[in-house]
Amino acid sequence: MLSIIRERLRQGHRTGKYPKVEPVLPERFRGLPTIDHQHCQPNCTQCIEGCPFGALQKVAGKLELDMGLCLFCPECSAICEHGALSFSRDYHLSSRTRAGLIVDETEFKMVEALDAKMKKLFGRSLKLRQVSAGGCNACEADLNVLGTLNFDLARFGIQFVASPRHADGIIVTGPVTENMKSALLDAYAAVPEPKLVIASGACAIGGGPFKDSPEASNGIGDILPVDLYIPGCPPHPYTALDAMLRLMGQL
């Protein structure tokens, strides 16, 4: 026992200091996309044609990027000869609305907190049932990481629970395959009212690389009412944590 105590003292405090201290993300991390409209050529469509997932389009001559469809690969920024597209290291990517994931010439708005009634219910304690609706396990793994010593999700009053009957909402990953659709709906129905729905990852938001597949849905937007969208493939743990804390009004 004494040797265990000595080792614990030697290791020191391992939990990250977020949100008091901003996390240091790897140099290769690709976060919030940035579009330089001054360098974007009106008649150029190279990045749109080169995007494997249809995340780019031009509206009224202005380039827009849909983070709900984007897998944050570097193809568009590599193709763009004018340097108009790049990815920052900003991990604040989430939105309360699907339209809020569109990156254009307007300033990106961070997640807004729940209304007063819902914040009173969930602002200090949020229990979520994670539903993997046909995901590849990348999003699921990075959500699981939030329970480790470094992130310690429970210190913020957020926990993943085993039963939807003990949950305040569900957090869904995966494109919702045909084989998982009924199970997802059953899990949602088992959560007592009022309840929240969180779509985590490109697959859950827009289908990801499985978009328009006959064996899967294009995310959960047409199946369930979504309260929070967390983009990424997979979303970084800090992106997910930031989104949930802002939803609860803790940031």
Q: Summarize pLDDT for 55-112 with one digit per residue, the tens.
A: 999 988 889 999 999 999 989 989 988 888 999 999 999 999 999 999 998 889 999 9
DSSP 95: B
Give the residue from 71, 42, 69, 72 showing the smallest Cα distance to 58: 42
| Average confidence (pLDDT) over 172-182 | 95
pLDDT digits (tens, 9 = 90+) for 105-141: 888 999 999 999 999 989 889 999 999 999 899 999 9
The domain locations on the chain are 116-247
Is the CA virtual torsion 223, 98, 216, 138 positive or negative? negative
Q: What is the fold, at CATH topology level, of the domain defined by 116-247?
A: Rossmann fold (3.40.50)
Contact call for residues 185 and 142 (beta carbons, < 8 A): no
What does residue 19 show for φ and ψ, rounded to 5 degrees?
Answer: -95, 0
What's the pLDDT at 37?
86
Indicate the pTM of the whole model: 0.92
Give rounded-to-5 percent helix, strand, coil for the chain: 30, 15, 50
Closest CA to 226 of 179, 151, 176: 176
